[in-house]
Structure formats: C-alpha cells, structure tokens
Amino acid sequence: MNRLYHVPLSPFCRKVRLTLAEKKIEVELVEERYWEPSPDFLRRNPAGKVPILKMGTRTMSESQAICEYLEEISPQVPLMPKDADGRYEVRRLCAWFDDKFQNEVTSKLLYERVNKKVTGQGYPDSKNVKQGSARIKYHLDYMAWLLDQRRWLAGNEMTLADFTAAAHLSCLDYISDVDWHRHAVLKDWYAKIKSRPSFRPLLADQISGFPPAAHYADLDF
Amino acid sequence: MNRLYHVPLSPFCRKVRLTLAEKKIEVELVEERYWEPSPDFLRRNPAGKVPILKMGTRTMSESQAICEYLEEISPQVPLMPKDADGRYEVRRLCAWFDDKFQNEVTSKLLYERVNKKVTGQGYPDSKNVKQGSARIKYHLDYMAWLLDQRRWLAGNEMTLADFTAAAHLSCLDYISDVDWHRHAVLKDWYAKIKSRPSFRPLLADQISGFPPAAHYADLDF
C-alpha cells in the first residue's frame, strides 16, 4: 500500500494529495509530527520535511518532483499540457505559488496563526500577519487577471498549476484568510475546483484546537 | 537575439546560463540591478526577480521552469534522464539545492557577504555567516555520499542536478566558502564540471569590489 506522510494544513502535502486523488492512486495517509523529527522520520527523509510519499520501495520527497513523477507514471488524467510552452507556464505558476506566494502569504498567515501554536512557538507576529494580509490581495488580483484571459490558471485546461494554487488557498480558507468577494472570476474558479471529488478529503480535515471557518467545507460558499 | 537578464553571482542565473551554454543556445547577457527595480524590469517580470530569459516573443522567469523548457525544446544534449525514476531524482536534487541549500547555505553566506554590500544593506550578520558555514559541511558530506554511489549527483549521467549544485557552489567558491579538501570525490566532481566549456564564462565573472578567490578560475585548484 502506498503511504503519504503529511500534515493536514500543509499546501505542499495537499498538492500531492490532490494529484494522487485526481490520478486515482490509493494511498494511506499518516500524519507526521514533522516538528518533532524522530530518527525514523529522518531516515525516511533526510530533508526533514513533509510530504513524503512511499510507493513500493521508493521513498520520495519534494512535492513538485513527486507530482511530476506521478504525472509521468500515470498520464491518463493529464495535469500537464502536451506542448513545451504550456508545460513551461504550468511550472512557472507552480513555482510562483510554492515559492513567492508561500514566502509572501502562506508563511505570513498560516504559519503565524496555526503552525506556531501547534508547534509550541508562541503567538503570531502581528507584523507578519499584516504583511501577509496585504500581499494576498496582490496575488488574488494577479490570479483574477490570469483567469480573465484563460479558463484555468495556466491556460484552457485544468493543470497542476490550479491544484498548486488551490492547495495554498484552501489552507488559508480554513482560517478565513481569503476574501472571495474580491473577484467573481476567482470565486468561480475555486468553486469548480472545490467541487471535484479529489477535494473532498481536504474539506473534511479538522485541526485540533482550530475549527475551520464556517464556509470552509461549503460548496456554495 | 535571445537575451538573459541576470546578475553574475546568482546561482539561479548561473543555472540558466549553464543550461543555455550546454545546449549551445546563444544569448546576450544583460546585467540587471534587480534591487532597484525599474518599471521596465517589472514589466518584463511581475515576480521582480532574475533570471529573466527573452526568447523571441516569450519572456520567461523561474529558473527551474526555464531549464525544463530548454530541455524540452532542445533535447540533443540531454540534461534529464529518459525514465520517470531518473527524472524524479534530478528534480528532487534541483529542489534540494534551490530550496534547502539556498535557505541554509547560499543565503547565509553569499547574501550576507556580497548581496548586502552590493545592495547597500550594510554589513554581514555574523550569526547567519556562522550558521551557513556550519550547514555547508553537512551538504558537502551529503553530496560526497551521493558521489560515492554514483558518477554524477543524480545517477551515472551528468544532469541538471549537477549544474544546479555547481551553480550554487561556484558562487560560494568565488568568495572562498567551499572547503575542497573535505572530500576528494567532491573535488573530482567539481573539477570535471568546472572544465566544461559551458563553465568558462562563469569563471571570467568579476564583481566590482569583490575580487574572486585566487583559485576560483583555476582548473587545477
């Protein structure tokens, strides 16, 4: 049985969970307390991070590398376009969300509000929260600008770029940090992706001490 | 003419320069003062970072996405294996260097010693420099461990993982921050990659106010 070591509110773990579910690859989820790394955990992954995917004898880390691998071994529900230009755009946007959005928004909001408390590192730094709340607007505007020209973020097909973005936004939506009234086109995009069967397990996630926002699991939010 | 907007001592720019040179794609280099972003620069790249590659009408950012694109349009000097397992390992290691090594080492040494001064942000923070100097040893040991089992970092063929690692190490070598005596196997690996024609332009780089280490351009270091 395949096994994914993860934490529920990690955008990187969610990206892999969504990719596995879209490709109908069954996997057992194991919650990993990555902030208390055990020798066992570090043997599984020298980088000391989640997600880690065990498939047969392989132990894999790095969410983008894992998703590209899953795309290559299981291309039947394609999450990457066939042409080099299209694939470049998907990879550019994956890096945009996993690097730029992560540093400017996810780490400033989710990590301050949730991870710090869960891992016993104290209270949110209000300067960071303020910065994250300001920066997310710029990113939502950029996404709406893309979606004004395209059906999905990277083009006219749904790709890994959409799941990468949705992985980040769904974590922030859990703590009510996404203003869905800002752009109708963005809300429509999220409604489409949120109603996919692959999204259901994410909507059932519950973090002890952090109940989700009331609208979090609602498909008609 | 293709054009690459870059800064000389950026591992991400060097990774793209090496990939272009390996694939014999000619490019005009334009040094970009990214810390003084002009409206022109931000129009070229909304992420506000280098490298930016202009090819025909395309303007591309994100070094890994660019290199994967170059690999797809110009596969004749392959920098990626053919099989999914091999490609996963290359991508995992690229992420290792561009994310983990970058955060733990490059940003702690190069950014403190060089970028801060160049961009007028003052003196190095000795705590960061100390951390970077400690962490690089762990990474060099990990590389040597890989090279004890394989001819190149990701397997028995030279790949983008080697150029990604060499892009980081060459920047640190410019400021004498790599202990080549630590592992003979690692020094041999760097000697091989350093002697490639694609590496020559990097060895000729000169940063005003920061002369390179005496051995930096020496193939017999």
**pLDDT confidence band for A48 (50 / 70 / 90):** confident
Q: Is B85 on the interface with A (CB under 8 A)?
A: yes
pLDDT the model gives residue B144: 98
Are B92 and A142 inside 8 Å of each other by CB? no
Count of structural domains within chain B: 2
Residue B213 covered by a domain: no
pLDDT in tens, A111-167: 999 988 888 888 999 999 999 999 999 999 999 999 999 999 999 999 999 999 999
Residue A11 covered by a domain: yes
pLDDT the model gives residue A44: 64
Residues A41 and A111 in one domain: no
Query: What secondary structure does DSSP assign to A19-67, as a single string?
Result: HHHHTT---EEEE--TTS--HHHHHH-TT--S-EEEETTEEEE-HHHHH
pLDDT in tens, A53-71: 999 999 999 999 999 999 9
Residue A219 covered by a domain: no
Contacts (Cβ under 8 Å, ≥6 apart) of A181: A187
- Give the CATH number of the domain where residue B190 resides: 1.20.1050.10
- Give the CATH number of the domain where residue A30 resides: 3.40.30.10
Residues B66 and B93 in one domain: no
Indicate the DSSP class of residue B56: T
Q: Is A43 on the interface with B (CB under 8 A)?
A: no
ipTM for this prediction: 0.95
Residues A155 and A49 in one domain: no
Residues B112 and B39 in one domain: no
Chain B residue whose CA is closest to A57? B85
Rounded percentage of chain B residues whose pLDDT exceeds 70: 96
Q: Long-range contacts: A128-136, Cβ < 8 Å, 24+?
A: A131/A104, A132/A104, A132/A105, A132/A106, A132/A107, A132/A108, A132/A177, A133/A108, A133/A109, A133/A177, A135/A104, A135/A105, A135/A108, A136/A105, A136/A109, A136/A172, A136/A177, A136/A178, A136/A179
Chain B residue whose CA is closest to A66? B88
Residues B95 and B189 in one domain: yes
Q: What range does the domain containing A134 cover?
A: 84-202
Nearest-neighbour CA in chain A from B219: distance (Å): 32
Q: How many CB contacts within 8 angstroms connect chain A with chain B?
A: 62
Residue B219 half-sphere exposure, CB side, CA atoms within 13 Å? Answer: 8
Is there a contact between B80 and B27 (Cβ–Cβ < 8 Å)? Answer: no
- Say yes or no to pLDDT of B62 above 90: yes
Residues A111 and A182 in one domain: yes
Q: Which residues of chain B are within 8 Å of residue A46 when distances are taken between CB atoms?
A: 142
Chain B residue whose CA is closest to A67? B88
- Say yes or no to pLDDT of A41 above 90: no
Q: Is A217 on the interface with B (CB under 8 A)?
A: no
pLDDT in tens, A80-113: 999 999 999 999 999 999 999 999 999 999 999 9
Residues A184 and A119 in one domain: yes
Q: Is B84 on the interface with A (CB under 8 A)?
A: yes
Compute CA distances B188 → A88, B11, B184, whole Å: 34, 21, 6
CB atoms within 10 A of CB B136: 23
Residue A136 half-sphere exposure, CB side, CA atoms within 13 Å? Answer: 23
Residue B212 covered by a domain: no
More confident residue, A38 or A163: A163
Residues A106 and A198 in one domain: yes
Q: Which residues of chain B are within 8 Å of residue A92 when distances are taken between CB atoms?
A: 60-62, 65
